[in-house]
Amino acid sequence: MPRFVTPRRSCLHTALLTIGMLLCSVARVTGAQSLMSTSQAPRAESEPGATLFRQVQLFDGEKVHASLDVLISGGKIAAVAAHIKPTMGVVIVDGRRRTLLPGLIDAHVHTWPQAARAALQFGVTTELDMFMDARVANSLREGQRAGRARERADVFSAGTLITAPGGHGTEYGPKIPTLGSADSASVFVNARVREGSDWIKIVYDDGRSSGLSLPVLSEQTLRATIAASKAHRKLSVVHIGSLHDARTAIEAGASGLAHLFTDSVGDVSFAALMKRQRAFAIPTLTVLSVMTGSDAGARLAHDPRLAPLLSRQDLMALGQSVTKRPGAPIRRYSAAESTVRVLHRSGVPLLAGTDAGNPGTAHGASLHLELELLVAAGLSPIEALRSATSVPARIFSLGDRGTVAVGKRADLLLVDGDPTREITATRAIVGVWKAGAIVDRIAYQKELAASLEAAAAPSALGDGWISRFDDGSLASEFGSGWTASGDGVMGGNSQATVNIVDGALEIAGTIGPKSPHPWAGAMFSPGTTLFAPANLSTRRVITFRARGDVGMLQLLIFTESNGRTPLVSTVALTGEWQQYSVPFAAFGQTDGRDVQALIFAGGPTSGPFRIMIDDVRLQ
């Protein structure tokens, strides 16, 4: 369930912590402030970036070792021994009553750069993305190769998923290529490989588990796609919605499952099938618990060990739930939990993944909940830790990470206590290191505090008038006025111009075909500067008059909570002026608390357009 626009089956339940709590949390001393020994020698003869962890309990990705020294230098693990003599100037970190672990790997996310940055604050140094625009994925990979990813988790991705025309994955707005027949499977997979896909993600789910009816690949096409993936030596990871779908996918030769299921319990015969096929499973218990009514995500937001580093976006996401559609079958979390227990007893590899980017999840933080849920489902704490370190590194061929050994990347997580006995100790983070460099979590906290302070109600909000356009200018009663905007931020080539004509705003332009969600129009920023978030939650409805020579007006809202993904509502236009009222509720995933921009746009149909708007107001 990728994050492009809000799935129609979800709804927002406000579960924000108070702003005051988060502002106060900045003063909480964590991370680097208490790490360095006061007895450091001068740096003159030291190797840059060298850090020595002294007398630390080490979980190396497989086993636990008591009281070891670990030296990192040049971005890698330089030595692991009972005692390492520090060189001049090395940074010394006291490891007593602490545990050092490999950086965590979340094996199922839908991410973007800011989300990957958030993940790193919680010790998740690598994210395995299961569906994103291939152009964005390649940009992230290039940044990693060039050493420009120190401030975010590394991201590896399936890129464009493989689904049937109109199938799951096509409902989120952006246009993606789809696979119609088995005959085309080889060519289709070749295209994904050329785009850079690190593995192949396949959808085999007709939506019934969610109360939907979606087109789905035929079994023959599924088999052909898996065979084509194997020909390229790529893992085939299959999204399924039921036990029946999961069994069919594994019988077809899938490398692994992107989720488990909540309709039935996978019994010993299913586990034996997976074992025989050498398949793995990413249970994603976190998102399955949300889908079955749990408020575990909202409760995670109140954990004082995590709360100081949760952004407004994180808090809103954790507070969301999934609405059960009328007629949808009953979902039982216990079925997924029992299936994990059966698979675990049978020796099927289990990987920790959260499906972060969906309601009830937050990048980085939710992996700590996933570990807790895996332990509750029968894994030992050590086994759960393996599922987030060495196991995904081995299965996804990430040979430079996942374990703490000489020569491996120095992606590390240091925590107070012993998570090999009490798994929730992973939340007591002392510090995070990415390629040997300590992550400045204090600076990140200060950024969060600043963004919370910035999202205040505009001082001139008054009676809610934005613009009447009677004075012939593009100015507004509050905010930063109006400007032309287009889909270039999403790789598109749509363009628009804005002018005042006869006391109204004219928006004219051309919608191009390149963007996954084409639009161009007039943008109003309610904050004091362009794209600064503003709190408009005291108002419920956007009212305006409009007419146009196209049949549709797109109303887009960008919010800080949703990153670069716009929330969209549409209204039908005629050639005559009409009054319109669009409530914030129509956009699904915002209550107006952190609006960065409001855009009146043409699209998504390609071609020229002309729209007139007037008397724009918040009520």
Q: What is the pLDDT of residues 481-498, one digit of tens each?
A: 899 988 875 656 788 999
**Same domain? 446 vs 546:** no
Q: Is residue 61 within 8 Å of 3, Cβ to Cβ?
A: no
Q: Confidence band (pLDDT; 50, 70, 90) for 593?
A: confident
**Same domain? 267 vs 414:** yes
CATH assignment at residue 248:
3.20.20.140
Task: Give mean pLDDT, residues 527-545.
Answer: 87
> What are 261-299's pLDDT values in tens digits?
999 999 999 999 999 999 999 999 999 999 999 989 989
How high is the pLDDT of residue 514? 63
User: Among the listed ranges 144-153, 211-220, 324-333, 362-371, which one has the minimum average pLDDT value?
Assistant: 324-333
Domain contains 423: yes
Find, among 8, 22, 77, 48, the residue nearest to 435 by Cα: 77
How far apart (Å, rounded) are the C-alpha atoms in residues 134 and 138? 6
What is the rounded radius of gyration, in angstroms, for the C-alpha atoms of the chain?
25
Domain contains 4: no
**Same domain? 307 vs 431:** yes
Task: Give mean pLDDT, residues 130-144.
Answer: 94
Q: Work out the angle at residue 583's Cα, subtended by the Cα atoms of residues 582 and 587, and round it to the nearest 5 degrees.
A: 95
Q: Confidence band (pLDDT; 50, 70, 90) for 24?
A: very low
CATH assignment at residue 541:
2.60.120.430
Segment (H or E) for 607:
strand 607-618
**Same domain? 443 vs 504:** no
**Same domain? 287 vs 336:** yes
Q: Assess whether pLDDT exceeds 50 at residue 366.
A: yes
How far apart (Å, rounded) are the C-alpha atoms in residues 413 and 103? 5
Q: Please, what is the average pLDDT of the chain?
A: 88
What global pTM score does this model have? 0.74
How high is the pLDDT of residue 15? 28
Domain contains 123: yes
Domain contains 92: no
**Same domain? 194 vs 261:** yes
What percentage of the chain's residues is helix, strand, coil (to nearest 5)?
25, 25, 45
Structure tokens at 26: 């900045």
**Same domain? 282 vs 402:** yes
Task: Give mean pLDDT, residues 397-402.
Answer: 98
Q: Assess whether pLDDT exceeds 70 at residue 6.
A: no
Tokens 């270039």 identify what position?
Answer: 488
How high is the pLDDT of residue 321? 78
Q: Which of 415, 450, 485 is the last residue of a domain?
A: 450
Strands 607-618 and 541-548, by their bridges, are antiparallel
Q: Which of 405, 424, 450 is the last residue of a domain?
A: 450
Q: Assess whether pLDDT exceeds 60 at residue 594.
A: yes
**Same domain? 111 vs 240:** yes
**Same domain? 486 vs 415:** no
How high is the pLDDT of residue 333? 96
Please count the structural domains in the chain.
Answer: 2
**Same domain? 417 vs 505:** no
**DSSP single-letter state for residue 162:** B
How high is the pLDDT of residue 196? 97
Q: Which of 424, 450, 476 is the last residue of a domain?
A: 450
% of the chain residues with pLDDT over 90: 70
Task: Give mean pLDDT, residues 517-532.
Answer: 85
Host domain of residue 479: 465-618
> What are 189-207's pLDDT values in tens digits?
999 999 999 999 999 999 8
How far apart (Å, rounded) are the C-alpha atoms in residues 393 and 398? 5
Q: Is pLDDT larger for residue 203 or for residue 315?
A: 203
**Same domain? 370 vs 503:** no
Domain contains 67: no
Q: Assess whether pLDDT exceeds 90 at residue 46.
A: no
Domain contains 32: no
Q: Confidence band (pLDDT; 50, 70, 90) for 509?
A: very high
**Same domain? 426 vs 550:** no
How far apart (Å, rounded) are the C-alpha atoms in residues 372 and 381? 8
How far apart (Å, rounded) are the C-alpha atoms in residues 589 and 572? 22
